[in-house]
Chain A
């Protein structure tokens, strides 16, 4: 994927150029207002770029969107309250009018995210972490090549978040999708990613493109190693320049 875009009279992004290889797990890290969510929305064709080009799986975002080349996970689960978990997971297939054994596929994905027994539960009956799992299953049901995640665990508590990180790596391993993951947590970015792209503010731009040299599979114990600290240290220094008194 290649980006080089800018958006709006307030330049949200300027001179951002980024290539992500298939199967890669890339995190976008930066303070609030650095345009990382904007970048994700450009890739997803939620927002149109003012100028510049984006290609998703070799196509323009609008075409990729209609081909269901990517799935999107929002910060809040965005589940429809009147549908149970299974019906929420089925929504993309209903909209795509894709009738190839939908219930079986939904069941398989609920199983993948560890919710096989909760297909009939309504969103208000599920915990925050469980709702976000349903959202991940929904994003995966169209079998997308790319998963775009906008701070998906940002609203979860620390303990749940750590658990969801491990779950996400397991799901990524099982599905082999490319993941573009937006976060403002350095440890989360290092723990999950192959690469961490640090973005700066006003206008949003790439400050550092760090390759994470930790072995896979990742283990939470790695967070206590010197190697891990070296990575988060590099990210912290790149982010430090972005700290402002008025921020």
Chain B
């Protein structure tokens, strides 16, 4: 008699075909758009309140030159703020990790800056820096700065104690410990923060444009709202959303190129 008789082969089930997996979310979005279109036609909702997707698409094509002109300004502001805000955050994080005194002195200031609402600080910066790109870039930078600072400090400190002991045994200098150990191990944390701030930099730029601008997606949102050009308002919103998505995907691509050691499956 056998209690357990194990004879057999274990074969991993075949993975689902990938075209189908891409199709399901696309179908979901299409269904939502179809319902939106139908609802407005059936209940005869006026287009100046909520335009149907077909009208938004038409506006998108008709107003493309306007959108294109305004999206350029927002890209410059968002990307500029993204670069400046994150660079400062990374440099500060490096400073904090090497000097606890600096961390204790400057971190409360960083928190204080964070607690000031962006909406409140935007008019102040426009007054200070004028109507050009400068205040928008500063606001986008401010909005990017804090998440990156916090994550980068965590990343630089998220080093196993035994790895630090290893560097000690190898007689590594502080510089070597930083570049060969701390910096690479912080990269997954940094990219997590960059993904957050890629989308927030667009928000920062648009909010700043509301306060005072004559070009940009934020400016276009204000103008189209006041002029009841609801189709253009929706088309602008869609453009802003795609801009944030594009920045996000750019970060994902860079991350895939640099952080190659993290397997898709959980480690160990």
- Are A46 and B184 in contact, with the CB atoms below 8 A? no
**Interface residue tally for chain B (C-beta within 8 Å):** 24
Question: Quick one: which of A78, A92, A124 contacts B261, CB cutoff 8 A?
Answer: A124
Report the count of interface residues on A (CB-CB < 8 A). 25
Are A95 and B171 in contact, CB atoms less than 8 angstroms apart? yes
Min CB gap B210→A, angstroms = 43
* Least Cβ–Cβ distance between A90 and chain B, in angstroms: 11
Say yes or no for A143: interface residue by CB 8 A criterion.
no
B169 touches A46 (CB 8 A): yes
Q: How far is the CA of A92 from the CA of B168 in the complex (A)?
A: 11
B174 within 8 A of A: no
B170 is an interface residue with CB less than 8 A from chain A = yes
Enumerate chain A residues within 8 angstroms of B168, measured Cβ to Cβ. Answer: 45-46, 65
Q: Which residue of B lies closest to A125 (CB)?
A: B263
- Closest B-chain residue to A81, C-beta based? B261
- Residues of B near A44 (CB, < 8 A) are 169
What is the bound-complex CA distance between A215 and B163, given in angstroms?
37
Q: B167 CB to closest chain A CB, in angstroms?
A: 8
Interface stretch (choices A12-20, A68-76, A99-107, A199-207): A68-76
In the complex, A234 has a CB within 8 A of chain B: no
Residues of B within 8 A of A74 (CB): 162, 165-166
Query: By the criterion CB–CB under 8 Å, are B172 and A46 in contact?
Result: no
Contact status A95-B267, CB under 8 Å: no
Q: Which residues in B have their C-beta under 8 angstroms from that of A70? A: 169
A80 touches B181 (CB 8 A): yes
Nearest-Cβ distance from residue B266 to partner chain A, whole angstroms: 10
C-alpha gap A68/B181 in the complex (Å)? 19
Residues of B within 8 A of A59 (CB): none
Give the residue name and chain of the B residue nearest to A123 (CB): B261
| A92 and B267 alpha carbons, distance in the complex (Å) | 25
Do A95 and B172 touch (CB < 8 A)? yes
Bound together, the chains give a CA A95 to CA B172 distance in angstroms of 6
Contacting pair B181 A96 (CB below 8 A) = no
Q: Does A118 contact B (CB under 8 A)?
A: no
Q: For residue A148, which residue of chain B has the nearest CB?
A: B169
CB 8 Å contact bits of A41-65 with B (1 = contact, 0 = none)? 1001110000000000000000001
**Is A94 an interface position by the 8 A CB rule?**
yes
- Tell me if B176 is interfacial: C-beta within 8 Å of chain A: yes
Q: In this assembly, does B69 line the interface, its C-beta being within 8 Å of a C-beta of chain A?
A: no
Given contacts A78-B160, A80-B184, is CB(A122)–CB(B172) below 8 Å?
no
| Chain A positions within 8 Å of B185 at CB level | 80-82
Interface membership of B180, Cβ < 8 A? yes
**29 examples of A-B residue contacts, CB within 8 angstroms:** A45-B169, A46-B169, A65-B168, A65-B169, A66-B171, A70-B169, A71-B169, A72-B166, A74-B162, A78-B162, A78-B163, A78-B165, A80-B163, A80-B180, A81-B262, A82-B184, A82-B185, A82-B259, A82-B260, A91-B170, A92-B170, A95-B167, A95-B171, A95-B176, A95-B180, A96-B170, A96-B171, A122-B261, A124-B261
